[in-house]
Amino acid sequence: MTAQISSSTFKRSSWHEIHQSLGISLLDHLYNRLDGIYPTRWKAQFPNERAIENWREAWAEAFEEERIDTRMVSDALRMCRKTHDWPPSLAEFLKACKPIINVDAALHEAVNQMHARQHCKDQWSDPAIFWAAVKVGEFDLLSLPFAALKPRFEAALTKVREGEVLPVPARVPALQAPGKSESTREYGRQRLNELSASNLIRKVSQGGNLAWAYRAIEEHERAGMVPQHKLNLARKAILSVTGREP
Protein backbone atom coordinates (compact mmCIF):
# COMPACT_ATOMS: atom_id res chain seq x y z
CA MET A 1 0.00 0.00 0.00
CA THR A 2 1.43 3.38 -1.00
CA ALA A 3 -1.53 5.67 -0.28
CA GLN A 4 -0.86 8.79 1.75
CA ILE A 5 -1.55 8.39 5.47
CA SER A 6 -3.86 11.10 6.78
CA SER A 7 -3.25 12.92 10.02
CA SER A 8 -4.42 11.29 13.23
CA THR A 9 -4.36 11.85 16.96
CA PHE A 10 -3.75 8.14 17.65
CA LYS A 11 -0.41 7.46 19.27
CA ARG A 12 1.75 5.40 16.92
CA SER A 13 2.86 1.99 18.09
CA SER A 14 5.44 -0.51 16.89
CA TRP A 15 2.79 -1.92 14.58
CA HIS A 16 3.02 1.30 12.54
CA GLU A 17 6.81 1.36 12.30
CA ILE A 18 8.58 0.26 9.13
CA HIS A 19 9.87 -3.27 9.56
CA GLN A 20 13.45 -3.55 8.36
CA SER A 21 13.14 -6.88 6.54
CA LEU A 22 9.64 -6.20 5.16
CA GLY A 23 10.12 -2.63 4.04
CA ILE A 24 6.61 -1.78 5.27
CA SER A 25 4.91 -1.71 8.66
CA LEU A 26 3.62 -4.86 10.33
CA LEU A 27 0.09 -3.52 9.94
CA ASP A 28 0.50 -2.98 6.21
CA HIS A 29 1.99 -6.46 5.95
CA LEU A 30 -1.06 -7.83 7.76
CA TYR A 31 -3.32 -5.85 5.39
CA ASN A 32 -1.57 -7.44 2.41
CA ARG A 33 -1.80 -10.93 3.92
CA LEU A 34 -5.53 -10.57 4.49
CA ASP A 35 -5.91 -9.21 0.98
CA GLY A 36 -4.14 -12.31 -0.32
CA ILE A 37 -6.37 -14.64 1.69
CA TYR A 38 -9.57 -12.78 0.72
CA PRO A 39 -8.97 -11.29 -2.75
CA THR A 40 -11.53 -8.58 -3.65
CA ARG A 41 -13.50 -9.26 -0.45
CA TRP A 42 -10.91 -7.65 1.81
CA LYS A 43 -10.28 -4.46 -0.19
CA ALA A 44 -14.00 -4.01 -0.81
CA GLN A 45 -14.32 -2.98 2.86
CA PHE A 46 -12.11 0.09 2.31
CA PRO A 47 -13.53 2.65 -0.14
CA ASN A 48 -10.75 5.19 0.51
CA GLU A 49 -7.51 5.82 2.35
CA ARG A 50 -9.35 7.26 5.37
CA ALA A 51 -11.08 3.89 5.83
CA ILE A 52 -7.72 2.11 5.67
CA GLU A 53 -6.22 4.50 8.20
CA ASN A 54 -9.19 3.95 10.52
CA TRP A 55 -8.51 0.22 10.24
CA ARG A 56 -4.83 0.73 11.06
CA GLU A 57 -5.61 2.79 14.14
CA ALA A 58 -8.32 0.50 15.51
CA TRP A 59 -6.34 -2.70 15.01
CA ALA A 60 -3.05 -1.28 16.32
CA GLU A 61 -4.78 0.06 19.43
CA ALA A 62 -6.45 -3.31 20.06
CA PHE A 63 -3.18 -5.20 19.50
CA GLU A 64 -1.43 -2.98 22.05
CA GLU A 65 -4.20 -3.30 24.65
CA GLU A 66 -4.50 -7.06 24.22
CA ARG A 67 -0.72 -7.55 24.05
CA ILE A 68 -0.90 -9.29 20.70
CA ASP A 69 2.45 -10.34 19.26
CA THR A 70 3.52 -11.47 15.80
CA ARG A 71 3.28 -15.15 16.72
CA MET A 72 -0.36 -14.70 17.69
CA VAL A 73 -1.06 -12.86 14.43
CA SER A 74 0.51 -15.68 12.43
CA ASP A 75 -1.61 -18.23 14.29
CA ALA A 76 -4.73 -16.11 13.70
CA LEU A 77 -4.04 -15.87 9.96
CA ARG A 78 -3.65 -19.64 9.83
CA MET A 79 -6.97 -20.09 11.61
CA CYS A 80 -8.70 -17.59 9.32
CA ARG A 81 -7.57 -19.54 6.27
CA LYS A 82 -9.13 -22.67 7.73
CA THR A 83 -12.33 -21.39 9.31
CA HIS A 84 -13.33 -17.99 7.88
CA ASP A 85 -14.81 -17.73 4.38
CA TRP A 86 -15.15 -13.97 4.78
CA PRO A 87 -12.68 -11.44 6.17
CA PRO A 88 -12.71 -11.38 9.99
CA SER A 89 -13.84 -8.42 12.04
CA LEU A 90 -11.47 -7.06 14.66
CA ALA A 91 -13.28 -9.00 17.40
CA GLU A 92 -13.08 -12.23 15.39
CA PHE A 93 -9.40 -11.73 14.66
CA LEU A 94 -8.59 -11.09 18.31
CA LYS A 95 -10.37 -14.30 19.26
CA ALA A 96 -8.29 -16.11 16.65
CA CYS A 97 -5.15 -14.58 18.18
CA LYS A 98 -6.12 -15.90 21.61
CA PRO A 99 -8.32 -18.93 20.99
CA ILE A 100 -10.28 -20.35 23.90
CA ILE A 101 -8.35 -23.06 25.71
CA ASN A 102 -10.25 -25.97 27.21
CA VAL A 103 -9.24 -25.75 30.87
CA ASP A 104 -9.75 -29.45 31.61
CA ALA A 105 -7.64 -30.52 28.64
CA ALA A 106 -5.00 -27.89 29.44
CA LEU A 107 -4.75 -29.05 33.05
CA HIS A 108 -4.35 -32.68 31.99
CA GLU A 109 -1.62 -31.54 29.60
CA ALA A 110 0.08 -29.55 32.34
CA VAL A 111 0.18 -32.53 34.70
CA ASN A 112 1.42 -34.93 32.01
CA GLN A 113 4.02 -32.55 30.63
CA MET A 114 5.35 -31.59 34.06
CA HIS A 115 5.96 -35.31 34.63
CA ALA A 116 7.68 -35.51 31.24
CA ARG A 117 9.67 -32.37 32.03
CA GLN A 118 11.40 -34.19 34.86
CA HIS A 119 13.09 -36.18 32.07
CA CYS A 120 13.42 -33.21 29.68
CA LYS A 121 10.85 -34.73 27.32
CA ASP A 122 8.00 -32.25 27.73
CA GLN A 123 6.11 -30.89 24.70
CA TRP A 124 3.57 -28.09 25.18
CA SER A 125 0.76 -27.22 22.78
CA ASP A 126 0.75 -23.63 24.07
CA PRO A 127 3.42 -21.91 26.21
CA ALA A 128 0.61 -20.29 28.24
CA ILE A 129 -0.22 -23.73 29.64
CA PHE A 130 3.37 -24.14 30.83
CA TRP A 131 3.48 -20.75 32.54
CA ALA A 132 0.11 -21.40 34.19
CA ALA A 133 1.54 -24.66 35.50
CA VAL A 134 4.56 -22.73 36.84
CA LYS A 135 2.23 -20.32 38.66
CA VAL A 136 0.42 -23.23 40.32
CA GLY A 137 3.73 -24.86 41.21
CA GLU A 138 5.16 -28.18 40.11
CA PHE A 139 4.84 -29.79 43.53
CA ASP A 140 1.13 -28.97 43.89
CA LEU A 141 0.44 -29.79 40.25
CA LEU A 142 1.84 -33.29 40.64
CA SER A 143 0.41 -34.01 44.08
CA LEU A 144 -3.03 -32.38 44.45
CA PRO A 145 -6.28 -33.86 43.07
CA PHE A 146 -7.77 -32.49 39.84
CA ALA A 147 -10.74 -30.85 41.57
CA ALA A 148 -8.47 -28.86 43.86
CA LEU A 149 -6.15 -27.83 41.04
CA LYS A 150 -8.71 -26.73 38.45
CA PRO A 151 -9.79 -23.35 39.93
CA ARG A 152 -6.19 -22.39 40.68
CA PHE A 153 -4.98 -23.46 37.27
CA GLU A 154 -7.83 -21.70 35.46
CA ALA A 155 -7.10 -18.46 37.32
CA ALA A 156 -3.39 -18.81 36.56
CA LEU A 157 -4.06 -19.50 32.87
CA THR A 158 -6.30 -16.44 32.58
CA LYS A 159 -3.65 -14.26 34.24
CA VAL A 160 -0.87 -15.58 32.02
CA ARG A 161 -2.82 -14.95 28.82
CA GLU A 162 -3.45 -11.33 29.82
CA GLY A 163 0.23 -10.51 29.30
CA GLU A 164 3.08 -11.45 27.03
CA VAL A 165 3.54 -15.21 26.88
CA LEU A 166 7.20 -16.17 26.67
CA PRO A 167 8.47 -19.38 25.06
CA VAL A 168 8.91 -22.46 27.23
CA PRO A 169 12.48 -22.49 28.58
CA ALA A 170 14.61 -25.59 28.30
CA ARG A 171 15.07 -27.53 31.48
CA VAL A 172 18.60 -28.33 32.57
CA PRO A 173 18.92 -32.14 32.65
CA ALA A 174 19.39 -33.68 36.07
CA LEU A 175 22.74 -35.29 36.77
CA GLN A 176 23.06 -39.02 37.09
CA ALA A 177 23.14 -40.52 40.57
CA PRO A 178 26.61 -41.13 42.03
CA GLY A 179 28.36 -44.36 41.10
CA LYS A 180 29.37 -46.94 43.64
CA SER A 181 32.94 -45.71 43.58
CA GLU A 182 31.97 -42.21 44.67
CA SER A 183 31.35 -41.24 48.23
CA THR A 184 28.19 -39.31 49.06
CA ARG A 185 30.26 -36.32 50.21
CA GLU A 186 32.35 -36.31 47.00
CA TYR A 187 29.23 -36.49 44.88
CA GLY A 188 27.62 -33.72 46.91
CA ARG A 189 30.59 -31.42 46.34
CA GLN A 190 30.59 -32.23 42.61
CA ARG A 191 26.84 -31.61 42.33
CA LEU A 192 27.08 -28.29 44.17
CA ASN A 193 29.94 -27.11 41.95
CA GLU A 194 28.02 -27.99 38.80
CA LEU A 195 24.90 -26.25 40.03
CA SER A 196 26.91 -23.14 40.82
CA ALA A 197 28.56 -23.25 37.41
CA SER A 198 25.10 -23.38 35.82
CA ASN A 199 23.92 -20.38 37.87
CA LEU A 200 21.08 -22.44 39.35
CA ILE A 201 22.03 -21.40 42.88
CA ARG A 202 22.09 -17.63 43.17
CA LYS A 203 23.82 -15.53 45.77
CA VAL A 204 21.90 -15.25 49.00
CA SER A 205 22.12 -11.46 48.72
CA GLN A 206 20.12 -11.67 45.50
CA GLY A 207 17.69 -14.23 46.82
CA GLY A 208 15.70 -11.94 49.10
CA ASN A 209 12.98 -13.94 50.78
CA LEU A 210 14.12 -17.00 48.81
CA ALA A 211 17.44 -17.19 50.65
CA TRP A 212 16.13 -19.95 52.90
CA ALA A 213 15.10 -21.97 49.84
CA TYR A 214 18.51 -21.70 48.19
CA ARG A 215 20.21 -22.57 51.48
CA ALA A 216 18.01 -25.67 51.85
CA ILE A 217 18.90 -26.88 48.36
CA GLU A 218 22.59 -26.13 48.90
CA GLU A 219 22.58 -28.03 52.20
CA HIS A 220 20.80 -30.97 50.58
CA GLU A 221 23.31 -31.11 47.74
CA ARG A 222 26.23 -30.80 50.19
CA ALA A 223 25.21 -33.27 52.83
CA GLY A 224 21.80 -34.73 51.95
CA MET A 225 20.42 -33.96 55.42
CA VAL A 226 17.44 -31.74 54.48
CA PRO A 227 14.00 -33.35 55.07
CA GLN A 228 12.21 -34.13 51.81
CA HIS A 229 9.16 -31.99 52.61
CA LYS A 230 11.36 -28.93 53.25
CA LEU A 231 13.29 -29.60 50.04
CA ASN A 232 10.04 -29.83 48.06
CA LEU A 233 8.81 -26.54 49.53
CA ALA A 234 12.10 -24.84 48.67
CA ARG A 235 11.94 -25.99 45.06
CA LYS A 236 8.31 -24.97 44.79
CA ALA A 237 9.03 -21.49 46.16
CA ILE A 238 11.89 -20.87 43.73
CA LEU A 239 9.87 -22.12 40.76
CA SER A 240 6.84 -20.01 41.71
CA VAL A 241 8.80 -16.76 42.12
CA THR A 242 11.50 -17.05 39.43
CA GLY A 243 9.77 -19.27 36.87
CA ARG A 244 12.88 -21.46 36.87
CA GLU A 245 13.33 -24.85 38.41
CA PRO A 246 16.30 -25.21 40.77
Q: Identify which of 44, 10, 14, 41 has the alpha carbon closest to the alpha carbon of residue 27.
A: 14
CA geometry: angle 197, 200, 203, nearest 5 deg: 90
Query: Residue 174 falls within a domain, yes or no?
Result: no
> 137: phi > 0 → left, psi -120 to 50 → alpha, else beta; which?
left
pLDDT at residue 193, rounded to an integer: 46
pTM comes to 0.49
Query: Residue 41 falls within a domain, yes or no?
Result: yes
Q: Are residues 144 and 196 in the same domain?
A: no
pLDDT at residue 242, rounded to an integer: 66
CB-based contact 188:167 (threshold 8 Å): no
Q: Which domain holds residue 216?
A: 184-242
Low-confidence stretches of the chain (pLDDT < 50) are 1-9, 175-178, 180-182, 187, 190-208
Q: Is 211 exposed, middle or buried (0-12, 13-18, 19+ CB in 10 A)?
A: middle
Q: Are residues 230 and 191 in the same domain?
A: yes
CB-based contact 201:242 (threshold 8 Å): no
pLDDT at residue 149, rounded to an integer: 92
- Which of 114, 131, 162 represents a domain boundary (last residue)? 162
Query: Residue 53 falls within a domain, yes or no?
Result: yes
Q: Are residues 196 and 212 in the same domain?
A: yes
Question: End-to-end distance of the chain based on CA atoms, in angstroms?
Answer: 51
Q: Identify which of 169, 153, 218, 121 has the alpha carbon closest to the alpha carbon of residue 235.
A: 218
Q: Identify which of 217, 237, 241, 214 has the alpha carbon closest to the alpha carbon of residue 228.
A: 217
| Total count of domains within the chain | 3
Query: Residue 5 falls within a domain, yes or no?
Result: no
pLDDT at residue 7, rounded to an integer: 44
Query: Residue 221 falls within a domain, yes or no?
Result: yes
Query: Residue 179 falls within a domain, yes or no?
Result: no
Rounded to whole angstroms, the Cα distance separating 241 from 137 reads: 10
Alpha-helical runs (H) found in the chain? 26-37, 49-65, 70-83, 90-97, 103-117, 127-136, 138-143, 146-162, 184-197, 204-207, 211-223, 228-242
Q: Are residues 34 and 75 in the same domain?
A: yes
